Amino acid sequence: MTDYPRRALVASPTPPARAAAAELHDACDWYPVEEADVVIALGGDGFMLQTLHGMLERRNPPVPVFGMNLGTVGFLMNEWRRHGLDERLSRARPFKVTPLQMTATGIDGRIHTLPAINEVSLLRETRQTANLEVTVNDRVVLPELACDGILVATPAGSTAYNFSAQGPILPLGSAMVALTPISPFRPRRWRGAILPDKARITLRVINAGKRPVSAVADQREVRDVAQVDICMDRQRELTLLFDPEHALDDRITMEQFIA
């Protein structure tokens, strides 16, 4: 059990989240994020991702985040309740989330290194299909994949874009990542792969000038890439806190049984 005496409060700019933040304003003495032991985040999954990315940029090591849902889906959030925050924090279960690191090299030679908590995705920029060479651990496994795109998803992100693209749901703690094509045209029968999370994945754009491709790390995009290298960033592990009855691992498991 942990008390987390110094707490920070952050909220999405939406009216429901702002109203909830006002209700919690007098619940305790709030600290800046840089000085807190835990962050209380009010909003939806998009705001949670934004908060976690802020933690990666501002805190080393990052502190735990306890989210309460004032958005739509709230897959990464707990239920919103005004009262009982002290008890909920003391009983909360921690879940470790390891982000991906995307190193994207543009056709201009510039290098962009970005973290991704859910997924890294490559997407065609024009009406023409993307042609990609797929390499795993320095071995070319697909010389040419013609598709709308491809993504690499973490277990925490496997129920998001990855699942919509017909990718597998990965349990937390599985030590795997999903490599999932988006509308593959050739080879027609390839539907993706599940790889150990120690794998180093390289996606090279074939004829990048004629068939331009963008790379997206969660919500941040790099356009006109020539090559993207992806691996786990084990130096920057994140911690999410959940009520025992709404744990993230159980949510991911049960998502497989939703029709």
Cα separation, 27 vs 83, in Å, equals 9
Cβ-in-10-Å burial (0-12, 13-18, 19+) of 169 comes to middle
SS3 201: strand
CA 166 to chain centre: 17
Q: Which amino acids are annotated as binding site for NAD(+), given as ranges?
A: 45-46, 118-119, 148, 156, 159-164
- Judge if the upstream peptide bond of residue 187 is cis by omega within 30 degrees of 0: yes
Residue 45 is a catalytic residue: yes
Q: Which amino acids are annotated as binding site, given as ranges?
A: 45-46, 118-119, 148, 156, 159-164
Cα separation, 175 vs 167, in Å, equals 16
Catalytic annotation, pick one of 45, 138, 224, 250: 45
CA 165 to chain centre: 15
Active site residue ranges: 45
